[in-house]
């Protein structure tokens, strides 16, 4: 068993950004700050208390984004936290109908592909 990384596209109100993320089934999506600012993710009025691997407790703002992995799109909560490696959490995986196969180090489909409403889709970003 090892680490599982995925390539994801994070979309906001203004743009999208491709991000390589470490799959962490105990977290939200936690990208680098540029992934929140540049595409213009939708800020929510909510914050969450997170417990990073270093053991400190930190508050993080929550944003809403559209995430695409393996040609599956769905809305996901994104926590704003400065981390060395962007993290992809279980909530996004479940929304997209994916799960981690730790032995193979890859994601597997657990449900049929379905269209899930996302926070924003511009005419330049048609459905797959």
Walk me through the domains of the chain, giving residue ranges and CATH numbers: 5-109 (2.40.70.10)
| pLDDT tens digit sequence for 69-123 | 988 999 888 888 888 888 898 888 988 999 998 888 889 998 776 555 555 555 5
pLDDT computed for residue 68 by the predictor: 93
pLDDT computed for residue 97 by the predictor: 92
What is the spatial distance between Cα 14 and Cα 115, in angstroms, rounded to a whole number? Answer: 21
What is the spatial distance between Cα 4 and Cα 25, in angstroms, rounded to a whole number? Answer: 11
This prediction's pTM: 0.78
Residue 92, C-beta contacts closer than 8 angstroms, at least 6 positions apart: 28, 29, 67, 69, 74, 76, 77
């Amino acid at each position: 068993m090892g680490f599982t990384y995925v390539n994801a596209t994070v979309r906001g109100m203004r743009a999208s950004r491709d991000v390589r993320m470490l799959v962490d089934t105990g977290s939200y999506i936690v990208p680098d700050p540029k992934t929140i600012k540049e595409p213009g993710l939708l800020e929510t009025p909510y914050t969450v208390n997170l417990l990073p691997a270093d053991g400190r407790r930190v508050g993080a703002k929550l944003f809403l984004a559209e995430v695409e992995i393996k040609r599956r799109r769905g809305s996901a909560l994104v926590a704003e936290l400065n981390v060395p490696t962007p993290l992809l959490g279980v909530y996004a995986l479940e929304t997209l109908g994916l799960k981690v196969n730790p032995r193979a180090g890859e994601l597997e489909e657990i449900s049929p592909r379905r269209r899930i409403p996302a926070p924003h889709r511009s005419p330049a970003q048609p459905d797959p």
